[in-house]
Amino acid sequence: MKRLYGIYNGREVYAHTLTGGDLTAEVLDLGGIVHALRYRGVDVCLGFRTVEDYLASGSYAGAAVGRVANRIAGGRFTLNGKTYDIVRNDGENTNHGGAEGFDRRVFDAEERADGTLALTLVSPDGDQGFPGRLTFTAEYSVRGDELTVRYSAVSDRDTLWAPTCHLYFALSGESAPTLDDTMLRINAQTYAPIRGHLPTGEVRSVEGTPFDFREYRCIATAIAEGGDALAATGGYDHNFFPSGTPSASAYCKSTGIKLEISSDLPGLQLYTSGGLARVRGKTATYGPRTAFCLEPQFVPNAVNLSGFDVPVLRAGEKRVHTIVYRFSTI
């Protein structure tokens, strides 16, 4: 089922509804944006009322990010001995695919008989400076109380491809977003320290640090107690290395809603919306540290570091990554 949501660059943008159990998802064919996630009637993700609001926010809210999630230092990388200069849109760095990333594209949509929504985008050779003609497909399905997002891509040249889903979660409800009573657990023994917003290349133990979420901790309290380790980023904006399933789980004390996330991607970015501007959303005003993102992804800037999985997609290779969001009550 779909409804007209708006117009972008002369193309109609539709919101597609997927339902199962107590969970309903609404996905836009603009940017593959998960516009709403309603569990037992409570919308638990941030979003915006119009196409224009999404584009103006600069938040990437709910989007299928690409070609490469997170930052590439200096907007430059070397692949097969050739150096590529790509579009810089975050100071000297490239963030979330460049100034015109996948979040700002209208995908071709197919509502399949089994209830799956398939969104496909062809990114031409040289798009934002990346090599290769890349065909990217994002598939969304709701079964029971699980939303499954399946990303796949193929390119005619060697290129980089590192997707993620940039959902902002407010388990307290989108109408009153807060982290004050949200508890988080991350199944990770190690994390990637950063300088600015970029990993240093080290891997450190979470033991005895503000990054130890092996047991449930209140997100707001963890930020308040983080001190200098979180000062530069206004909260968490760090990559963890999950070592089990689920990768992470969170629950809200007031609503009783619990979220579990599982994925085959090697890293998990925790972002507590420190850079989110004060802006009007679907029904409430958002701002810094009112929601959190758990983004399965490759390590940021992995292509320019050693010791990490590098998201190279070889010519003709089809690669697939899956993220599963499971909802329940405590």
Helix or strand run (H / E) with residue 15: strand 11-20
CB-based contact 209:190 (threshold 8 Å):
no
Class at the top of the CATH hierarchy for domain 2-177+272-329? mainly beta
For 87-117, write each residue's pLDDT tens digit. 999 999 999 999 999 999 999 999 999 999 9
Taking the domains of the chain in order of start, what are their residue ranges? Answer: 2-177+272-329
> Rounded to whole angstroms, how far apart are CA atoms 159 and 127?
11
> Rounded to whole angstroms, how far apart are CA atoms 288 and 133?
37
CB-based contact 102:31 (threshold 8 Å):
yes
CB-based contact 303:72 (threshold 8 Å):
yes
C-alpha distance from residue 65 to each of 4, 59, 70, 311 (Å): 23, 11, 9, 14
> Rounded to whole angstroms, how far apart are CA atoms 97 and 76?
12
Q: What is the CB-side half-sphere exposure of residue 208 using CA atoms within 13 A?
A: 2
Full-model pTM: 0.97
> Rounded to whole angstroms, how far apart are CA atoms 229 and 257?
29
For 166-199, write each residue's pLDDT tens digit. 999 999 999 999 999 999 999 999 999 999 899 9
Place of tokens 């004390």: 253
Tokens standing for residue 253: 């004390």
The mean per-residue pLDDT over the stretch 71-92 comes to 98
Q: Is 166 a catalytic residue?
A: yes
CA angle 140, 146, 152 (to 5 degrees): 30
Largest CA distance in the chain: 54
Q: Which of 26, 139, 260, 295 is labelled catalytic?
A: 295
pLDDT of residue 28: 98
Q: How does DSSP classify residue 129?
A: G
Phi first, then psi: what are they for 21, rounded to 5°?
55, -130
For 247-291, write each residue's pLDDT tens digit. 999 999 999 999 999 999 999 999 999 999 999 999 999 999 999
For 4-44, write each residue's pLDDT tens digit. 999 999 999 999 999 999 999 999 999 999 999 999 999 99
Length of the chain: 330
pLDDT of residue 196: 87
Which residue in 117, 85, 119 sits closest to 102, CA to CA?
119
CB-based contact 123:133 (threshold 8 Å):
yes
Q: What percent of the chain has pLDDT over 70?
A: 100
Q: Which of 166, 197, 238, 321 is labelled catalytic?
A: 166
pLDDT of residue 151: 98
pLDDT of residue 227: 93
> For the chain, what is the mean pLDDT?
97
Q: Is 35 a catalytic residue?
A: no
pLDDT of residue 95: 98
The mean per-residue pLDDT over the stretch 212-230 comes to 96
